Amino acid sequence: MSTLERKKLSSVSPMPALSMAERLKVVRQARGLTQQQMADLLEISRPTVAQLEGGRHQPSNEVLETIIAELEISRNWLWFGSGPMEEFSPVGGNVQILGDLEETDYLDVKLVTCKVRGGFMDLMDERGLEAYENLTNVRIYDPTPEMRKPGTLGFEIDGDSMEPQLRSGMRVVGVRVGLDNVKYATSGVYVVAFSDQLTIKRIKNNDILERGMLMLHADNPLAGSLPIAAADIRAMWRVSRIIYGDVI
């Protein structure tokens, strides 16, 4: 940030419980910007900024990527609410040393690849995940408390429907959402098992209580949206962190 004075807000980072709209407001306030200054930075109108912060409008990928680049905000935190808000080094670089790996807390979870669509639903039977030798472990360093909940899994992305944020080959960690709570899931990226399919998409608005349907959205504008019936949902995980991705 060459034209903006940096203002740290370490006392409120990390904040994984905040919604996307709340995180956008925190970013603006952390950088000491008015809504008009934020609008000028993002090349949108001030009323649009107010709508974004009020949860009445969803930010575009371009808006989110501009915030990440111009305001030096963590991509994982802004998109998923995971980890610290800022990614920077106190000595002026862009790498923050967290400590020796031997001293860092970690969690091993089972890894499921979205590419293996056929037979995935067999994992839901009474034998459990331990019955499948083809599932390997993936290690997550510095896990959040929610990642330690039963049913947390690692997933490998297949395809380009969630680009640019999630690219094919990336691995993410998903926290299991109970079927009783699926109707309340909103504002985030989710891995959804329904009928005989497994997909990763974004939920913007949840219409299960009103219409019995859930609309899943792709971040890639060329990929479109996918409506599914609530009765067809067999399992769901909320994506909370990218744990592997090639450098591009």
In this predicted model, which residue has the larger pLDDT, 1 or 84? 84
Is 80 exceeded by the pLDDT of residue 116? no
Q: What integer pLDDT is reported at residue 238 of this predicted model?
A: 92
In this predicted model, which residue has the larger pLDDT, 103 or 175? 175
Burial level of 5, CB count in 10 A (0-12/13-18/19+)?
exposed
Helix (H, G, I), strand (E, B) or coil at 154: strand
Q: Please, what is the end-to-end C-alpha distance for the chain in angstroms?
A: 22
pTM: 0.62
CB 175 within 8 Å of CB 237:
yes
Tens-place pLDDT, residues 60-70: 888 988 998 88
Domains annotated on the chain, with CATH: 10-80 (1.10.260.40), 101-244 (2.10.109.10)
Q: 56-60, 110-114, 168-172: which has the minimum mean pLDDT?
A: 110-114
Strand partners, 136: 111
Provide, rounded to the nearest whole percent, the portion of the chain with pLDDT above 90.
19
